[in-house]
Structure 1
Amino acid sequence: MSVSTHYDYLDLPCQAGQESFRSITRSYYRGAAGALLVYDITRRDTFNHLTTWLEDARQHASPNMAIMLIGNKTDLESKRKVSKEEGEQFARENGLVFLETSAKTAENVEEAFINTAKHIYTKIQSGEFDLSNESNGIKLGPQGQASQQAGRAGEQTGVSKCCQ
């Protein structure tokens, strides 16, 4: 699993639990709209480090950052050391979105990114992210900028966005 990935216009740092990445990943949190916190279901130690990684993310990132907890390597079910229920419980207790994946078979990998993007989009719609501030990790493309400007013009003239 890579330290960081870029999905569309969203910066989503990915953590695999390796302590060697800890110092460099702190810089990835700044300006991130979302993060994928990944542990290996066949290695209990990666699950045990989640609290530290989550604290790191919350300390160095926007309080609005969408964090998805990923239990990886479902293709190795016979070697599982962390139950799905434990992952779900950790996610629930910490307000995270949860999914299990297999990077090897690609099971739920796309869904992990899509669900994270949907969670970020929900936060955008609720006003938790200021779209005019790129430090939130969200960069509007030309279409998005035109849409946002049209929305502001509608607010100023009293015309609703649906009627423009």
Structure 2
Amino acid sequence: MITIDNKPIKLQIWDTAGQESFRSITRSYYRGAAGALLVYDITRRETFNHLANWLEDARQHANANMTIMLIGNKCDLAHRRAVSTEEGEQFAKEHGLIFMEASAKTAQNVEEAFISTASMIYQKIQEGVFDVSNESYGIKVGYGGVSGAAGGAGRDASTSQSGGCCG
């Protein structure tokens, strides 16, 4: 649960762990999602190299208006970095994604990633991009306000759109 514009927002989050063996199941999650976090390990270039495939899957199976954030994880291990921040930023820019680096270990930018993504979804709801009466967008209006599958809202979306980490 998070709060945006004084409204309680419930995020429903599914972690697919990016494993190839779950790829067909992962595709079904995209269908009802308003947002997605695409995560790679900054210390393992092969995870970055696979981003284009995962992004293609998301775009092919999800709503065209789905908000996607690219996260470079493990920024606490900068001394083992194999993918530069600039490379992550460039990939995000080329593909219209929100970008930030984070560390699941230290919690750096973890909450911010979810709030920023949810804020973008909330903004799209406010702008009428998503029809909240159509649950296929992954958004449900409940008693407390807007809530949904991997969707909802957050603080000011511009605050974390290009966040660095650990520095």
Same fold flag (TM > 0.5): yes
| Residue of structure 2 in register with 1:52 after alignment | 53
1:63 aligns with 2:73: no
The count of corresponding residues between Structure 1 and Structure 2 is 140
Following superposition, the deviation at residue 11 of structure 1 comes to 4.0
Structure 1 stretch displaced more, 35-44 or 122-131: 122-131
| Residue of structure 2 in register with 1:125 after alignment | 126
| Residue of structure 1 in register with 2:84 after alignment | 83
Following superposition, the deviation at residue 55 of structure 1 comes to 0.4
For the 8 Å contact 1:100–1:108, the answer to whether it is kept is: yes
Query: Amino acid of the residue matched to residue 9 of structure 1?
Result: K
Please provide the CA RMSD for this pair.
1.8
Q: Which of 1 and 2 has higher RCO (CA within 8 Å, sep 6+)?
A: 2
Secondary structure, counterpart of 1:140 in structure 2? strand
Structure 1 stretch displaced more, 111-120 or 6-15: 6-15
Aligned equivalents of 1:67, 1:115: Cα separation in 2:
10
| Residue of structure 1 in register with 2:117 after alignment | 116
Secondary structure, counterpart of 1:130 in structure 2? coil
Stretches of structure 1 lacking an aligned partner (at least 5 in a row)? 1-5, 146-164
Q: Which has the higher strand share?
A: 2
Aligned equivalents of 2:116, 2:43: Cα separation in 1:
24
Secondary structure, counterpart of 2:141 in structure 1? coil
Deviation string 1:35-75 (CA, Å, 9 cap, x unpaired) is 00000000000000000000000000000100000000011
Structure number with greater Rg is 1
Deviation string 1:67-112 (CA, Å, 9 cap, x unpaired) is 0000000111111000000000000000000010000000000000
Stretches of structure 2 lacking an aligned partner (at least 5 in a row)? 3-8, 147-167
Identity %: 72
Aligned equivalents of 2:49, 2:24: Cα separation in 1:
19
